[in-house]
Amino acid sequence: MDFQTWWLIFVPLLFALGWIAARVDFRQMLSETRSLPNSYFKGLNFLLNEEPDRAIDAFVEVAKLDPETTELHFALGSLFRRRGEMERAIRVHQSLLSRSDLPQADREAAQHELAQDFLKAGMLDRAEQAFESVLDTRYAVPAVRALIRIYESEHDWPRAIEAVKRLRALVDEPVPQLVHYHCEMALAAMTARPGDPAAAEAALDAADNAARELRKDNGSAASEVRIAILRARLAAMQGSTEGERKYLTSVLDIAPSYASLVAADVLESYRKLGQAPEGLELLREHYGRHPSLDVFNVVFREIRGQQGHRPAWAFARDALRAQPSMLGLDRLLEVELASGETRPREYSAVAEQVAGQAGHATPLAVLEIAAGADFSLLRSIIHRHTQRLDRYACQVCGFEARNFYWQCPGCNSWETYQPRRLEEIK
């Protein structure tokens, strides 16, 4: 009975306490709402009415009236940066850093935001200093990543390598571009005047170690291909034709699709050793297993040079029947026209075959010209049609280039170019 009496007293007391708490919270909310400047509500109204420019002006006014609104300053700074108004973004974040009462966590955040402003504005020296100032904070990982991008853009490969090592100490993840940083250092040592073979060798050894680490994480073969190509170049620089050939031919086994990058050099290395027929046979067999446009072009030229036009055109007919290509036809017409000889029957047969199988909207004039044996005009029309296909394309941003790049000039991504022309990909 005593328990029931106590319970009847306790329940109304709980309700009373809840009512008092609600009244206090409601009054506090009303007080805070009244303290907000009218510009704040104007800004919200502009946002709701999809007038972002006027909303920004209103929120800037709020920030001026109440400098204590730290979160609003951060929001405005980020918004200005996204809109490309870098001067205003920098000014907002610098005003935050000028406050002596700013908490340490907010100060670190403002410093990191300011560093991003400098980076996007292209002020790399100031961005580098700003990112370095937050390396011992919770922003260390994004700061190191940003420093790597800065060193890349400046081609400061030693500092980029050091930054990658620092990143690996913070997070356990592969960094594929590390191999290319060492390769860039090797290339710089080989192209310097005078060249420095010892430095190039050391850089390539470091690249090998980095590639070996990547192999554990199922990395791509592209980096190993580049190392082999540079080792071949170094061997040639040191007068070792055998070494050059060994590294070049290793590419055919490491990554068969990259044969297009080394086919001409492979053949030249065999020619230096007096073994041009063996080199031709090697590439011809490789083309049979892994057909590509550039290898086709090298093999066709070499067959024509070693064995004459009839075996060359027999190879071309069989190759283009299996892999129809207007670019292939364009390349072999270029070779034949350069020789100064004309062979109407062969041109006509291959032109008809490619036009019927390649799937391109080939002008009817092509076949008519082939029949009439106006070969320079035939090649001119085909070349105009294939120019846009004679390019490499980045798989990330789509940037097209006539030359093959390990790093895309458009988006700066690494290993995003396939070693095939656009016609071969589409």
pLDDT, tens digit (0-9, with 9 covering 90-100), for 129-155:
999 999 999 999 999 999 999 999 999
Question: How far is 92 from 168, CA to CA, in rounded Å?
Answer: 33
CATH code, residues 174-285: 1.25.40
Question: How far is 345 from 242, CA to CA, in rounded Å?
Answer: 42
CB neighbour burial string for 81-108, b if at least 16 within 10 angstroms, e if fewer: beeebbebbbebbeebeeeeebeeebeb
- Let me know: does 291 contact 260? Beta carbons within 8 Å: no
What average pLDDT is seen over the chain? 79
Q: Considering only residues 195 and 167, tell me which one the structure prediction assigns the higher pLDDT.
A: 167
pLDDT, tens digit (0-9, with 9 covering 90-100), for 39-87:
444 444 544 455 555 555 554 555 454 555 677 677 777 877 888 889 8
* 398-420 average pLDDT score: 92
> Hey, which of 73-82, 173-182, 307-316 has the most confident mean pLDDT?
173-182
pLDDT, tens digit (0-9, with 9 covering 90-100), for 200-237:
999 999 999 999 888 876 667 899 999 999 999 999 99
The pLDDT value given to residue 34? 44
Residue ranges covered by each domain of the chain? 174-285, 291-387, 391-426
Q: Please compute, for residue 30, the number of CA atoms within 13 A of its CA located in the half-sphere on the CB side.
A: 6
